[in-house]
Chain A
């Protein structure tokens, strides 16, 4: 099997502010993120040979054309990617393969979501599957992860109060980080008590256990390391790309514990192996992970090998994942505060890691960051799709 390590360079990235953009449409968001990426790379649309476009909610156009339309691209090949919360990262991943194959030298990746026009609370969800007999229960995202929280508490003997307090600490940390990032959706500090007192969304998860629903877009321009060096601009290198899809094991197999997500374990294993990472806890400088809910971040600590099984509690309480801890996680506030426009989130994470590695963080900085990880997890326990990407500096 071939490797992707050091074969792709990110030369430009852009990201809109995430939030409730009542005054901006899909086109506005795409243009804003892409123009920042072009400017970062010192390029223009004419320099691009192909594009990958990530958007989860189709809004009537499940194809690549909305990207061409927004940027008036000149009949370029554009692939539409849709893979739940991994949409942005998977668009990036496929673009990397397009460049690594030698087919294209420079490619554009844009991820976007314009959800707030739906007028709904949360993401659209109903009995599944569409056109089926629709007997599977409606399981919106908060419920999916509340199921895992109940199980995690029960499995490790945490009382509801102990569990909630532990989760609250993750939310408090991410709010602290998000406060300092100018592009984050939610920018205010909260206390553990605030989180504990918040209304319940899907028991045991309360309001502050959940990330917001946001609009936003993010973009990346990638090329070969050779061309990146010729450009004489700062760039980062892709070290590993993992993607794993579940086959409903948690839903069918009563041996499945639900206190870990195997998809995360497997996607990370692929990426670590490509990047040559043996001990992620020690080797990574930072990680930006899919904290759609606080419990998700807790389980990710264990699944990605940051904490030992059942020991995330100790690391959380020791502040290991704080900005000044051993392995800062979600330095930009994470989904919890940066927000979560589905198709854009993976690229937003790359934006944060890219900027940290180049020593130009927009929010709180990690000193001398050399190796950073991004992680997305979408879907439902048992049939998640999980993407992991590792970026590094050239040295």
Chain B
């Protein structure tokens, strides 16, 4: 995998995480599960990398984290989208749509 692909992947992962958290505030495992369900297992990424991304975005202030109690009554770290995070998601979502549209147009011809 080249360096460029990695960047793309990371950017993609961020958007997906943000999207997941826009739907509902949840813990790391919740995000993974949501993504797996939505992509039906086609998006394979190391789960550790996902936690790295969560922490990185938390530090940037895109996400806020709080410790809470999960549905099975265990202590878990919950992430939720901040206003900055929401703005980031909107921006990236839009870019993705443009990008996908462009690629789609090219491939259709």
Q: Do A and B come from one complex?
A: no
Chain A residues close to B by CB (< 8 Å): none
Interface residues of B (CB under 8 A from A): none
